[in-house]
Structure 1
Amino acid sequence: MCRIAGIASKSIKPRQLVSIVQKMCDVQRHGGPDDEGIFIDEQIGLALGHRRLSIIDLSSSGHQPMTDGNQQAWISFNGEIYNYPELKQELIQQGSRFNTHTDTEVILQAYLQWGTAAFGRLRGMFAFALFDVALGTTYLVRDCSGIKPLYYHLIGGQLSFASEVKALSRSGIATNLDSEWPIRFLAYGHIPEPYTTLKNVYSLPKGHYLQWQHNTAVSVIRSFADEPPLHDYITDTREAQHELYKAVNHAINSQMIADAPLGVFLSGGTDSSIVALMSGKQKDDQLKTISIYFEDKDHNEHTYQQAVADKLIGKNYAHLVKQQDFNQHLLHIIASMDMPTTDGINSWFISKYAHEDGLKAVLSGIGADELFGGYPSFNRIKYIRHLKQLSPTMFGLGKSLLADKYKKLAYLAYDHPVADYLFLRGLFTPADIAEILDIEPRIIEDVLFTSRQGYPTGYDEQHASWLETNLYMQNQLLRDTDVMSMSHGLEVRVPFLHEDLQRVVANIAPAIRFNKHQPKKILTDTFKDLLPPEILNRPKMGFSFPLQQWLAAHEAMNAEQFKGKKAQKLVKEFKKGQVHWSKPFALYQIQNV
């Protein structure tokens, strides 16, 4: 796990190229505190930068940017390739020679052997830049689940890229803000891909590569993700459980590979408990688990965390987080954000403690809710079809007459798939956004409801799974987890998003995969002999901080410090308990970030 950066330009002098890439690397130092390196090809006008967090092969042979023995290709790589031992053996049989024990070199040799077809054979989380010397071509490549970030900027025959948006802005490459980012942020609570806070800076789509031809300064973006093969669904519950157990076990085992200290985030929920207990089978007494808990009884999951920890031989590090900790670190948390978000506070704290407890990599349970129907949206989505049969004018009532938590009904007046998602997960309505930003509602609608391409329909559990995976998890959970963990020099691995596991889950009949009466039943039934009774019998409750109380008590929530009557009114309503904390937190960032 690392941070990468680079520029391809024939108009910038070599010394300046190195200087700018060095600045980008310096901005991202927190994500790669162990080593740094820069490669430059002066003739072609390319500089690749790298900040290293050493996880596999801790020796100096893992230094990047890395090249093969014949210097046919160069790579700057961020991430982990979990099937690199198998690929390495196959490549050795085909004549490849290796000088290191790194997964980075496996990517290089795989490309030299198979070309761009190699990208689809990688299993893991990754974002890398690979320069083919003979072809004069650079590839930017991002994993199929979009776990690792990669942002690019194209202008005037120049390609620039980095793992963080702020690396592009603070180095002077892209300094103009995208005027539409506040609209998207207030609607979603984050900035959805491919957009960013910067003009002409975009996120590379997951499962794609950008190909840059140096001699022509022409780029093209192509997909390398394989479409899952169409098979008959698994309709037998026992068979589904058998295949699911094998896939989860394989995913977790493959992600336990590390030459640095590795542990597990243990929240007390089903997903992290499964990851911890399955990891404990392999790591035995070496496994460390990290938990955080609170004094507030409504948010305290310490009992559940301890029930799992008691079944493990390794050490559990449990940390009590209090209001004063939140007060002390709120500005640090906001400073750690690459882009504004209404999430990530929990990730920041638990990553901080994991780093302090000596870990460099951890496993997380992210992804299970999206795969198996763990959110309320999986039941709510079916009602959208019926509600949208009503007159759109009825939903206009949400502008003024309804309580705040019902205002999102206004989104159902719009015939667009994004509006369906925002009804389920959105923050502010278009009318409220227009009032907050003092712009015409028509502008809000033009920004939010543009292309329909790629969005499914169906209003069933599979539809909900797609929305939760490709919008909420992709743009909020994964991004915030990456940014907040890397701000502490920590790598987070997500075994539920292993490519092979996702294929198995997609092949389970929806009637078995989703259960409206008991969310994630197939998952809990599969591991019922492993999980303690406290976890099996506990009510569903998403892990969260007591932020409604903490933020209300924070000095930042002084209504008089907010600009505009609408914002001041909302903050006052929040302090009365009438508005969810995420709304004033978003307004605070809009006005202070």
Structure 2
Amino acid sequence: MCRIAGIIDKHQDLTLSSAKVKEMCAIMAHGGPDGEGFYENANDNVVFGHRRLALIDLSITGHQPMIHDDKYVISFNGEIYNYLILKKKLQDLGFQFRTKSDTEVILIGFAYWGTAVFDKLSGMFAFALYDKTTNSTYLVRDQSGIKPLYYSAIDQRLIFASEVKAFKKLLKEENPNWKIYFLAFGHIPEPYTTLKDVLMLPKAQYLKWDHQTGTHELHCFHKESHDILIHKVEAAQEKVKNTIEDAVARHLIADEPIGVFLSGGIDSGLLTLLADEVQNKNGQQLHTISINFKDEQFSEKAYQDCILKEVNSKHYEYTLDESTFAEHFPSALAAMDQPTADGINSWFINYYAKLNGLKAFLSGIGADELFGGYPSFDRMGIVSFLSSLPHFMLKMALKINSVTLKRTYYLHYKNTIGKYLFLRGFFTPDEISKLLDIPVSKIDGVLKNLSIANMPNALGNGEQASWLETNLYMQNQLLKDTDFMSMQHGIEIRVPFLDKELLGLINSIAEPVKYKNTKKKGLLIDSFINLLPRKIWDRPKMGFTFPFQHWLKDDQYFQQQLAKCNNQRAKELIANFKKGDLHWSKAMAIYQVFNTIDD
């Protein structure tokens, strides 16, 4: 797990490109504290940069950018969990390896299979690969979009990096619509960023850059199969159990200790139990970490203790109080790479993880999206009904004096974006209009025409909810927030529920088996009913959140920043927040729209 950057510009002096790439890597040094490396090629004006967080092959041989046969060069961010299997296949074909790294497997795999190797990789990855034999460079991002990779391809120049911050001294023009995106979604949806000429590479795609023409093409290297193969509950449970067990084992491969974030919920509890079994077999001890609060309303200690009784874990437990939160809150805000209405909680859990010298943790991201853990799975019926209403009726929703009901207005877009914003929309168009002083018609025009993937046809209600939560909420908020907040501390987060084999399995299970259950995430729970304590799954759902509503109202730094805002509607909303009539996440959004996030 690392940070990468690069510039390919045949119109710019190589020395200048090199200096810029070094500056980009310095900005992202927090994500690669174990070393740095650079590669230059004057023939094609290529400069690659790399900041290293070493977890596999800790030796100098794992150094990057890595070169194979003086033909292929890679700067790689991520982990390949099936690299040993691919390595064995390549060795059987006669290839020799000089390192123990997964990075070299990508290089030699590309030398043999070409671009077909991209879909053979199981893991989380974002990398740049320079191919001298074809005078091309490839930017590649994993099938689930776990790792970020941003790029700018204008004026026959390609720039790429793991964070948007790395571009800010090179490309300063703002995306004129980012505030609309952010206020509507609570995040900035891919492929957009706050910068006009910087985009996120779509997941499961690669960008091929032609060095001679200075042009590029985007190609998809992985397409999901939705062939239904499993119709029986018992068969689904057995497959889910075996596949998740295998996924956890794969995600524990490392040359450094791996921990688990134990919140006390179903997902983290299950990962802890399974990881403990694997580590015991390997003769290693599991590490776990938890954060709690004095306020009983937010504490999950009783559930954490329930899991800890079942495992042999070296456990780290912290109680976060308001004064500690206030001390570090400005640093957490400054760590944001892109505006988000969430993510602060992730900064703190990774802060405490770093105190104990650990570099990598398992996270339960993906379980709610795959197995039906969100309220949206119960609401798709009403979404379908309301979506069938005439435009004029749906547009009248803006006149309703209820924020929740006002979101019905979004359904008049009659597309995937409208459905998502009805379910999870942040501010409604009339509020955005007042905050940004622009007409609702312009907001509608921007949001209706976003270049995002459309939800496939013929999905059932549960599958629609899963698609929206996975491809919009998880993709744009949870994964991005987790990545930049964890890497701010030099921590790698691994997500077994997004394992390639597990995703393929879930797509092959009939919808009634996946979601028609009397309890949330029923298939997941029943698959491990003999392992998960009843106390863990037979309880109200509680998200991993902090007492923000109370703390931020009294936080001096936050209040000082909000006080700088001159927008009249924003001032009214801030006053509502102080009275307890506005959710803290909306106050956070106002702060980010009207204040510049520190570099």
TM-score, scaled to structure 1: 0.97
What is residue 552 of structure 2 aligned with on the other side?
551
| Residue deviations 1:123-173 (CA, integer Å, cap 9, x gap) | 00000000111111100000000000000001111000000011011xx32
What is residue 47 of structure 2 aligned with on the other side?
47
Q: What letter corresponds to residue 574 of structure 1 in structure 2?
A: F
What is residue 273 of structure 1 aligned with on the other side?
269
Aligned residues: 589
Identity %: 47
2:589 to 565, 586, 591: 586
SS in structure 2 at match of 1:557: helix
Residues 66 and 148 (structure 1), Cα distance of their counterparts in 2 relative to 1, 3 Å cut: same
Q: Distance in 2 between matches of 1:389 and 1:20?
A: 53
What is residue 258 of structure 1 aligned with on the other side?
254
Residues 358 and 243 (structure 1), Cα distance of their counterparts in 2 relative to 1, 3 Å cut: same
2:236 to 236, 240, 258: 240
Q: Does the CA contact (< 8 Å) of 1:557 and 1:571 recur in 2? A: no
What is residue 199 of structure 2 aligned with on the other side?
202
Q: What letter corresponds to residue 40 of structure 1 in structure 2?
A: E
Q: Distance in 2 between matches of 1:402 and 1:298?
A: 30
Residues 516 and 447 (structure 1), Cα distance of their counterparts in 2 relative to 1, 3 Å cut: farther
Displacement of 1:459 after TM fit? 6.5
What is residue 570 of structure 2 aligned with on the other side?
567
Q: What letter corresponds to residue 181 of structure 2 in structure 1?
A: R
What is residue 185 of structure 1 aligned with on the other side?
182
What is residue 286 of structure 1 aligned with on the other side?
285
What is residue 220 of structure 2 aligned with on the other side?
223
Q: What letter corresponds to residue 591 of structure 1 in structure 2?
A: F
Q: Distance in 2 between matches of 1:520 and 1:452?
A: 28
Q: Distance in 2 between matches of 1:34 and 1:306?
A: 34
Q: Does the CA contact (< 8 Å) of 2:275 and 2:286 recur in 1? A: yes
Q: Distance in 2 between matches of 1:430 and 1:188?
A: 11
Q: Does the CA contact (< 8 Å) of 1:365 and 1:494 recur in 2? A: yes
How is 1:23-34 mapped onto 2 (pairs within 5 angstroms)? 23-34=23-34
Q: Distance in 2 between matches of 1:183 and 1:427?
A: 11
| Residue deviations 1:160-199 (CA, integer Å, cap 9, x gap) | 0000011011xx3211111110000000000000000001
Q: Distance in 2 between matches of 1:322 and 1:37?
A: 40
Displacement of 1:554 after TM fit? 1.8
Displacement of 1:314 after TM fit? 1.6
Displacement of 1:390 after TM fit? 4.2
Q: What letter corresponds to residue 117 of structure 2 in structure 1?
A: A
Displacement of 1:217 after TM fit? 0.9
How is 1:510-549 mapped onto 2 (pairs within 5 angstroms)? 510-515=511-516, 517-549=518-550
SS in structure 1 at match of 2:340: coil
Q: Does the CA contact (< 8 Å) of 1:291 and 1:318 recur in 2? A: yes
Displacement of 1:78 after TM fit? 0.1
How is 1:336-351 mapped onto 2 (pairs within 5 angstroms)? 336-351=335-350
The answer on 1:58 being equivalent to 2:54 is no
1:173 to 165, 170, 173: 170
SS in structure 1 at match of 2:504: helix
What is residue 118 of structure 1 aligned with on the other side?
117
Q: What letter corresponds to residue 469 of structure 2 in structure 1?
A: E
Displacement of 1:372 after TM fit? 0.6
Deviates more, 1:434-443 or 1:574-583: 574-583
What is residue 442 of structure 1 aligned with on the other side?
441
How is 1:377-456 mapped onto 2 (pairs within 5 angstroms)? 377-390=376-389, 392-395=391-394, 398-399=397-398, 401-450=400-449, 454-456=454-456
Q: Does the CA contact (< 8 Å) of 2:125 and 2:141 recur in 1? A: yes
Q: What letter corresponds to residue 567 of structure 1 in structure 2?
A: A
RMSD of equivalent CA atoms:
1.5
| Residue deviations 1:212-258 (CA, integer Å, cap 9, x gap) | 1111112101000143262x431211111110111001111011011
The answer on 1:487 being equivalent to 2:488 is yes
| Residue deviations 1:398-452 (CA, integer Å, cap 9, x gap) | 5454233443233233323211101111110111101100012121111100157
Q: Does the CA contact (< 8 Å) of 2:226 and 2:508 recur in 1? A: no
SS in structure 2 at match of 1:79: strand
5+ residue gaps, structure 2, are none
Deviates more, 1:297-306 or 1:570-579: 570-579
What is residue 468 of structure 1 aligned with on the other side?
469
What is residue 478 of structure 2 aligned with on the other side?
477
SS in structure 1 at match of 2:125: strand
Q: Distance in 1 between matches of 2:306 and 2:5?
A: 43
| Residue deviations 1:288-346 (CA, integer Å, cap 9, x gap) | 00111111222111111111112111211111111222211221111101011011111
Q: Distance in 2 between matches of 1:12 and 1:505?
A: 48
Q: What letter corresponds to residue 20 of structure 2 in structure 1?
A: I
Q: Does the CA contact (< 8 Å) of 2:226 and 2:507 recur in 1? A: no
5+ residue gaps, structure 1, are none
SS in structure 1 at match of 2:559: coil
The answer on 1:87 being equivalent to 2:86 is yes
Displacement of 1:512 after TM fit? 1.3
What is residue 315 of structure 1 aligned with on the other side?
314
Q: Distance in 1 between matches of 2:388 and 2:108?
A: 56
The answer on 1:370 being equivalent to 2:369 is yes
Q: What letter corresponds to residue 242 of structure 1 in structure 2?
A: E
Q: Distance in 2 between matches of 1:271 and 1:257?
A: 20
Deviates more, 1:330-339 or 1:489-498: 330-339
SS in structure 2 at match of 1:225: coil
The answer on 1:134 being equivalent to 2:133 is yes
Q: Distance in 2 between matches of 1:125 and 1:27?
A: 22
| Residue deviations 1:353-390 (CA, integer Å, cap 9, x gap) | 11111210111110000001100011112101222344
Q: What letter corresponds to residue 434 of structure 1 in structure 2?
A: S
Displacement of 1:557 after TM fit? 3.5
Displacement of 1:516 after TM fit? 5.4
Q: Does the CA contact (< 8 Å) of 2:455 and 2:464 recur in 1? A: no
Q: Distance in 1 between matches of 2:393 and 2:312?
A: 58
What is residue 3 of structure 1 aligned with on the other side?
3
Residues 254 and 453 (structure 1), Cα distance of their counterparts in 2 relative to 1, 3 Å cut: closer
SS in structure 2 at match of 1:130: strand
Q: Distance in 1 between matches of 2:415 and 2:157?
A: 36
Displacement of 1:59 after TM fit? 0.5
Residues 60 and 270 (structure 1), Cα distance of their counterparts in 2 relative to 1, 3 Å cut: same
Residues 453 and 350 (structure 1), Cα distance of their counterparts in 2 relative to 1, 3 Å cut: closer
Q: Distance in 2 between matches of 1:112 and 1:573?
A: 60
